[in-house]
């Protein structure tokens, strides 16, 4: 029977979602927890391949699971076998053709910047510390140019080859809340490191290295060198997913 798990995690101690031979990952940790609970080896499909150090406030994974444990009891049962930095919040029975990654309509990521002259020890590994003052209003103006269907080759890093670098960004914004600047981006899909590159590019706008009106030219260039740097992984969170299914759609 196909199940969807809604979970959240701090990625600081993991080398991303995808299972690796010689490093701890979120996928491996969840698969091992399920095996300890049920006695059966399973494959868990995640809604996104988050990188090392990236976090998720709202994440969905799917798995074929033959168990008598009711959906409402599954989170507590699994959490008893998971470390404290990973938590399952909901288990939902879904159609057999459901896949957490390929059934997804849109995803939202939030990039968190601690914009202060002095670092906050409590935000270590949970926000990007950036001491130079950022103009969040200019960043938000620049973010508007990212919205729409574009070839985002200029805003990706080299990684897994893809057939097309065209994506549709549905929302993109930057806003300040005290010393915290949050960049949000929602799209039908993202290229490798695309959100972190969007964050780095908007940070360049925030310090005046780029102007908001430069963003269309950066995108049209399809040249990675024209955009800003890839921002550190520690500030990135997956925060919302849409499947068009009330029981799974949500924000963290």
**DSSP one-letter string for 198-236:** HHHHHHHHHTTSS-GGGHHHHHHHT-GGGS-----GGGE
Domain with CATH 3.30.70.660 in the chain: 106-240
Which residues does 90 contact at the CB level (< 8 Å), separation at least 6?
5, 6, 75, 247
What are the pLDDT digits (tens) for 110-158? 999 999 999 999 999 999 999 999 999 999 999 999 999 999 999 988 7
Q: Is 99 a catalytic residue?
A: no
Phi and psi torsions of 102, nearest 5°:
-85, -15
Instruction: Answer yes or no: are the C-beta atoms of 157 and 231 closer than 8 Å.
Output: no
What are the pLDDT digits (tens) for 160-182? 677 889 999 999 999 999 999 99
Q: What is the pLDDT of residue 151?
A: 94
What pTM, to 2 d.p., does this model score? Answer: 0.94
DSSP state of 84: T
CA-to-CA separations, 82 to 50, 66, 76, 95, in angstroms, rounded? 19, 19, 10, 26
Phi and psi torsions of 91, nearest 5°:
-130, 130
The class of domain 2-103 in CATH terms is alpha beta
The rounded distance, in Å, linking the Cα atoms of 131 and 118 is 7
222: left (phi over 0), alpha (psi -120 to 50) or beta: left
- CATH T-level assignment (fold) for domain 106-240: Alpha-Beta Plaits (3.30.70)
Flag whether pLDDT at 159 surpasses 70.
no
51, 85, 96, 249: the active-site residue? 51
**End-to-end Cα spacing for the chain:** 26
Strand (E) or helix (H) holding 75: helix 74-79
């Amino acid at each position: 029977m196909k199940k969807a798990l809604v979970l959240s995690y701090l990625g600081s101690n993991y080398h991303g979602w995808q299972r690796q031979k010689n490093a701890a990952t979120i996928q491996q940790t969840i698969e091992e927890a399920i095996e300890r609970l049920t006695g059966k080896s399973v494959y868990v499909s995640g809604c996104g391949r988050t990188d090392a150090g990236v976090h998720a406030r709202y994440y969905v994974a799917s798995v074929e699971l033959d168990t008598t444990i009711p959906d409402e009891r599954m989170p507590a049962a699994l959490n008893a076998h998971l470390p404290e930095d990973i938590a399952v919040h909901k288990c939902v029975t879904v159609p057999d053709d459901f896949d957490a990654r390929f059934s997804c309509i849109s995803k939202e990521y939030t990039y968190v910047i601690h914009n202060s002259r002095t670092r906050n020890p409590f935000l270590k590994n949970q926000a990007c510390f950036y001491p130079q003052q950022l103009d969040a209003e200019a960043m938000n103006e620049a973010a508007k140019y990212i919205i729409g269907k574009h070839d985002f080759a200029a805003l990706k890093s080299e990684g897994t080859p893809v057939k097309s670098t065209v994506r549709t960004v549905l929302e993109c914004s930057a806003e300040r809340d005290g010393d915290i600047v949050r960049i949000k981006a929602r799209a039908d899909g993202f290229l490798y490191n695309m959100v972190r590159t969007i964050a780095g590019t908007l940070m360049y706008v925030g310090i005046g290295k780029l102007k908001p009106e430069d963003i269309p030219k950066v995108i049209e260039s399809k040249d990675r060198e024209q955009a800003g740097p890839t921002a550190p992984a520690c500030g990135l969170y997956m925060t919302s997913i849409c499947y068009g299914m009330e029981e799974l759609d949500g924000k963290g």
